[in-house]
A and B are shown apart, each in its own frame.
Chain A
Amino acid sequence: GQQVMQIPQYQHVQEGEDFTTYCNSSTTLSNIQWYKQRPGGHPVFLIQLVKSGEVKKQKRLTFQFGEAKKNSSLHITATQTTDVGTYFCAGPFDNQGGKLIFGQGTELSVKP
């Protein structure tokens, strides 16, 4: 069945270092969404990518959607302690409307 795999599962960085999480789908996705969940909190929608090869930026965060629309990445430049949390990617099931497949998430910890 359709799967969305995310790596790494955990990443520990020193404040100021960069961070990247990767998301790979077993099938082509019509779009990919990214969410952030702070410790003890709930997932919050960050961004959606739709086009092949699309790149979007939000301040220090850069999101990419692969040319084949099967992979995506989130890169954070110069991490800050406020970046701590788990980052999830999610993509829709084929022909199943609003059902999203979520990756397992990458938990980011930042040491000050």
Chain B
Amino acid sequence: QQPVQSPQAVILREGEDAVINCSSSKALYSVHWYRQKHGEAPVFLMILLKGGEQKGHEKISASFNEKKQQSSLYLTASQLSYSGTYFCGTDLSGSRLTFGEGTQLTVNP
């Protein structure tokens, strides 16, 4: 069951904020967030686990609503370097991730 990400794309000006959402129809063990720049490999941003534990980037925040099986990634005071495609990966089984289709973020000067 592929998670649903929204929005599909967002365009910002430098310094603006953005929120990317990820929702699943099934119970999750954890949610992962990755960013991919064009022509490069995905890079890890954050993991959110059941019970509230988090691992990840200091300058990026995220939330995980276990009851609703939803996660949100918060990008504040965006920089040009934030541009890329953001993927959430949901863990349904404890051993593998299922990724969403991605959210394309563009930050303009």
Decide if A and B are genuine partners. Answer: no
